[in-house]
Structure 1
Amino acid sequence: MTQGFGLSAGARIALLQRLAKRRARQDDAGEAAAPGRAKRRGFSDLPGMRDFALMQTAVEELDIESPFFRAHNGIAGATTVIGNAEYLNFSSYNYLALNGDPRVTGAAVAAVGRYGVSPSASRLVSGERPIHHELEAAIAANYEAEAALVMVSGHATNVTVIGHLMGARDVIVHDASIHNSCTEGARLSGARRIPFAHNDWRAAEREMAAARRNAGRALLVIEGHYSMDGDVPDLARFVEIARRHDAWLMVDEAHSLGVLGETGRGIFEAQNVDPGEVDIWMGTLSKTLSGCGGFIAAGRDLIEWLRHTAPGFVYSVGLPPALGAAALESLRIMQAEPWRVRQLQHNARFFRDRARARGFDTGASEGLAIVPIITGSSVRAARLSSAMFARGVNVQPIVFPAVPEQAARLRFFISSEHTEAQLSRAVDVLADATASLSPLELHG
């Protein structure tokens, strides 16, 4: 735990000592449980296992209730039921409140009745379902692309496409805050991977210019709406960089579709950029589209190549028809009811501005769906999350190593369903929770 989660040096040393004693007890117990037998190899030397164990010890010793893996007893929208209590909810990607919409649910139920729950194998082996083609055609139309391909996992979509597209002689230049799925795909590819300072197109230009000459192919990867900070890139600038250096431009729209643009079509609509200038559009079905899976929209030649060769598609089960139907119906509703997008954008700006007015650091958030509250300490973020939960507001902390220690935060996901009264209450609760915690509780 190199950055200490905001703990003092003394507190870190004490935790390390307790962890060492705990390990010794566990080792003794393991040996006593099987006297005379060869000791089985454990997993304690796995990369990161020591930091993970220390984090768990810190949570226990500081008496911080874990905010993760809470069971929601129903649809997690603007409010949710956890246990037997209702909470204001800011931990869902249900941006346009379509997850749970009767039309979306009805489409999923009808698909189950017609096709069953699973396609039972990869689409290459078990064949297609019409819903796959309908969804892919609708996604391609949204991005004015020639074709699209849907996969069973958003994370796996980036891993398999980037990993399959690039090779050892190539270079991948990406935003330093790009999603883990993109960096995992880059690692799988064997290509040289170069991050540039977050959302800095000038830094991207410098890195691409320095690396391009000695590379075979080049890929520039950005997000349309960054999930940690809630900011957006200047898309036209990145198009220019890609064209100038003979590189492909890939834009991850996981948090953009349904959020950016007058009608939610994404960053190209919001910034009036020709979507054809982007070589590869990537997105997920699990947020605005209230399903599960990922998609690629691009030229027909790339899509056909991926359909027949990408390991994460060829060797993976196809998208369940019910999820495809839910995503397609969600996309249709988004297009037919643009008021949802306008309401979402209004709500996010309202919350961000209210929080800033109360003195909270919302970072670079554009006020589109994601508003961070920067706490500067992992312990502080965890304490505030716990205090807010006790006051009826569910919001997750984002702590090191997901973000640098000094950038630890609470991350609020806003939806079109939230009301101004709920958003104002959340800011009031945040202020009250902050005031209620002692310096010791805030800093461990």
Structure 2
Amino acid sequence: MTSLNLAKSLKQKLIQQTLEKKLKKAESEGWKPTPQQTSSSAFNKHCQFDQHPGYKQLQIIKNGAKSLGVPSPFFKIHQGVAGATSIIDDQEVINFASYNYLNLSGHPEVNQAAIDAIHQYGTSVSASRIVSGERPIHQELEAAIAATYEVEDALVYVSGHATNVSTIGYLFGPKDLIIHDEYIHNSSVVGSQLSGAKRIPFAHNDLDALEKILTENRHQFEQVLIVVEGLYSMDGDYPDLARLVDIKQQHHAFLMVDEAHSFGVLGASGKGLREEAHVAGQDVDIWMGTLSKTLSGCGGYIAGSSALIENLRYLSPGFLYSVGLPAPTAAAALASLQIIQKEPQRIQKLKSISQSFIRQAKAMGFNTGDSVGMAVIPIILGSSVKAANASAALLEKGINVQPILYPAVPERSARLRFFLSSEHTEEQIKLTLNTLKTLL
């Protein structure tokens, strides 16, 4: 900075300080700005959405990506059922960006169940279930979910995200403590914030750290909830459920497991983390899952004791004040669950192709993080620009995989995230990994 510019800067600073002193003196003597002065200055930025911090941050990210020549990886339009393959821009691509793990979305039996429900019940139940939205298909689905977990009852919500928000937000309060894995889904974090409970995260899958938190804090609170996921959607790993049950019993806490990505995936017959870990369903207090992955619908569920479910059914805001799950969606989820139970080979095919993918990826030197090689496998590239460019280049080669970029993950953990389907083939896996290796 030149001496002239420095002098100008100092002069402007002095003028600003003088004006601020005069304003404070005037206010102390009773002066107040007129509504016109207020609205046109101090509050102006607070009544325009283009001044919202989130929007401004988004523009910085978009402009930065544009300047680096990085194409947007978001909102790709799929023109049909998205499974092991999909249609994007009128071209068939190998698809690794959908949760259709068992290829049940689009299955003829699932489609027919939804069609039959439309003919019988229409496309909406048109009311909250507690007043006039209840249908037999709701009760059939909930009974089937409860039986699968070998617990007393279950309840389905119209949104997976709202399932966690409303359940945690309603059941816990300011006198309680919620401890969750640092990688827990946003819905559990929002539910914890809504509850007003004290919230403490622990290092990912570090159950020693969890025990330390409980030892130091349990005595200060009434209810304590531990929240983990059955299969972490960013990293493809899972926690030690048997030890978690021991910990929660020792410290008199509730244990909640979010099975959004683990149900229908883990375990020999797809019953989720409890089957993988050989733990009884009743040993976990709150089972949560979504209907949008292996169950081919939309929404979420809670399974557990009859006391838990009756409480939520009558008083949980996200259930009580929301319209009931559409009957066609419930029917599709129920049909998917029935297929999973009678065709466990789908889970075995998913396991086989997932293990093949991770084995070949590691052999090529790719960093797959802590993934156990079951449905969700990241390839960590360590740069958002590199991940976004790799995703775009792969799409040009007929391979669709989504990049996960900062701030969704730390910059050093930016990655391509591969969702495997039971219908992916060895040829598709080899082509994908060889193409990625060539591109990088």
TM-score by length of 1: 0.88
- In 1: Cα distance, 2:225 partner to 2:190 partner: 14
Corresponding letter in the other structure for 2:351: Q
Corresponding letter in the other structure for 2:359: D
Corresponding letter in the other structure for 1:193: R
Secondary structure of the equivalent of 2:298? coil
- In 2: Cα distance, 1:146 partner to 1:325 partner: 21
Given candidates 330, 334, 337, the residue that maps to 1:328 is 334
- Counterpart check, 1:416 vs 2:422: yes
- In 1: Cα distance, 2:337 partner to 2:394 partner: 34
2:108 aligns to what?
A: 102
1:310 aligns to what?
A: 316
Secondary structure of the equivalent of 1:213? helix
- In 1: Cα distance, 2:351 partner to 2:374 partner: 5
Given candidates 62, 67, 90, the residue that maps to 1:61 is 67
Spell out the pairing of 1:6-405 with structure 2 (5 A cutoff). Answer: 41-405=47-411
User: What is the Cα deviation at residue 49 of structure 1?
Assistant: 3.3
Deviations 1:337-392 (A, max 9, x none): 00000000111111011111111000000011000000111111111111111111
Aligned residues: 398
Secondary structure of the equivalent of 1:148? strand
Corresponding letter in the other structure for 1:161: T
User: What is the Cα deviation at residue 121 of structure 1?
Assistant: 1.3
- In 1: Cα distance, 2:411 partner to 2:214 partner: 29
Q: Percent of pairs identical after alignment?
A: 56
- In 2: Cα distance, 1:190 partner to 1:135 partner: 32
More displaced 10-residue stretch of structure 1: 135-144 or 44-53? 44-53
More displaced 10-residue stretch of structure 1: 66-75 or 40-49? 40-49
- In 2: Cα distance, 1:205 partner to 1:429 partner: 44
Corresponding letter in the other structure for 2:392: S
- In 2: Cα distance, 1:187 partner to 1:294 partner: 20
Secondary structure of the equivalent of 2:180? strand
Secondary structure of the equivalent of 2:123? coil
Corresponding letter in the other structure for 1:134: E
- In 2: Cα distance, 1:216 partner to 1:400 partner: 37
User: What is the Cα deviation at residue 43 of structure 1?
Assistant: 2.4
Cα–Cα, structure 1 residues 333 and 208, in superposed 2: closer, same or farther, change >3 Å?
Answer: same
Corresponding letter in the other structure for 1:152: V
- In 2: Cα distance, 1:381 partner to 1:51 partner: 20
More displaced 10-residue stretch of structure 1: 220-229 or 63-72? 63-72
Secondary structure of the equivalent of 2:49? coil
- In 1: Cα distance, 2:209 partner to 2:62 partner: 37
More displaced 10-residue stretch of structure 1: 326-335 or 380-389? 380-389
More displaced 10-residue stretch of structure 1: 139-148 or 49-58? 49-58
Larger Rg, first or second structure (1 or 2): 2
- In 2: Cα distance, 1:149 partner to 1:179 partner: 20
4+ long deviations beyond 2 Å: 37-41, 43-51
Corresponding letter in the other structure for 2:316: A
- In 2: Cα distance, 1:376 partner to 1:51 partner: 22
Secondary structure of the equivalent of 1:400? coil
User: What is the Cα deviation at residue 53 of structure 1?
Assistant: 1.6
Cα–Cα, structure 1 residues 47 and 169, in superposed 2: closer, same or farther, change >3 Å?
Answer: farther
Secondary structure of the equivalent of 1:173? strand
Corresponding letter in the other structure for 1:313: F
User: What is the Cα deviation at residue 45 of structure 1?
Assistant: 4.4
User: What is the Cα deviation at residue 267 of structure 1?
Assistant: 0.6
- In 2: Cα distance, 1:376 partner to 1:50 partner: 25
> Does the 8 Å contact 2:133/2:324 carry over to 1?
no
TM-score by length of 2: 0.89
Q: What 5-or-longer segments of structure 2 have no aligned partner?
A: 1-38
- In 1: Cα distance, 2:209 partner to 2:393 partner: 39
Secondary structure of the equivalent of 1:48? helix
- In 1: Cα distance, 2:213 partner to 2:119 partner: 52
Corresponding letter in the other structure for 2:156: V
- In 1: Cα distance, 2:278 partner to 2:362 partner: 29
Deviations 1:244-301 (A, max 9, x none): 1110000000001110000000011011111111000000000000000000001001
User: What is the Cα deviation at residue 47 of structure 1?
Assistant: 3.9
User: What is the Cα deviation at residue 67 of structure 1?
Assistant: 1.4
